C-alpha cells in the first residue's frame, strides 16, 4: 500500500477506545504487525471528485476483528 500514499501523508483513526494518529508509516507498521485479514470484505461506499481533489469512503469488515470506515482525502498531483 505504500506506493498509494504521499511520503508526507498522515492518518487518524480509532480502534475501540484508542485514538491513533501520526505519519503514514505508522499505519504500514500496524498492518505489518497484524496477521493478514483472511475474511476481509471491502467496498467503496462513496466517491466525490471536485477538480483536483476527491474524497473516497471505503468500508472494510473483518480486519483483525474490527470493522473500519476509511475516509480518504485525495489530491491529484503531477
Determine the Cα–Cα distance for residues 53 and 43; give it in Å rounded to an integer.
21
At residue 29, the 3 state secondary structure works out as: helix
pTM: 0.76
| CB neighbourhood size of 78 (10 A) | 2
pLDDT band at 48 (very low <50, low <70, confident <90, very high): very high
Bridge partner residues of 16 (DSSP): none
Digit-coded pLDDT (tens) for 31-46: 888 878 788 999 999 9
The helix/strand/coil state of 72 is strand
- What grid cell was written down for 61? 469488515
Amino acid at each position: 500500500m505504500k506506493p498509494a500514499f504521499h511520503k508526507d501523508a498522515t492518518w487518524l483513526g480509532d480502534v475501540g477506545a484508542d485514538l491513533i494518529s501520526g505519519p503514514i508509516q505508522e499505519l504500514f507498521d500496524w498492518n505489518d504487525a497484524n496477521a493478514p485479514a483472511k475474511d476481509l470484505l471491502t467496498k467503496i461506499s462513496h466517491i466525490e471528485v471536485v477538480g483536483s481533489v476527491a474524497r473516497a469512503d471505503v468500508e472494510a469488515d473483518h480486519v483483525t476483528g474490527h470493522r473500519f470506515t476509511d475516509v480518504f482525502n485525495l489530491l491529484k498531483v503531477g
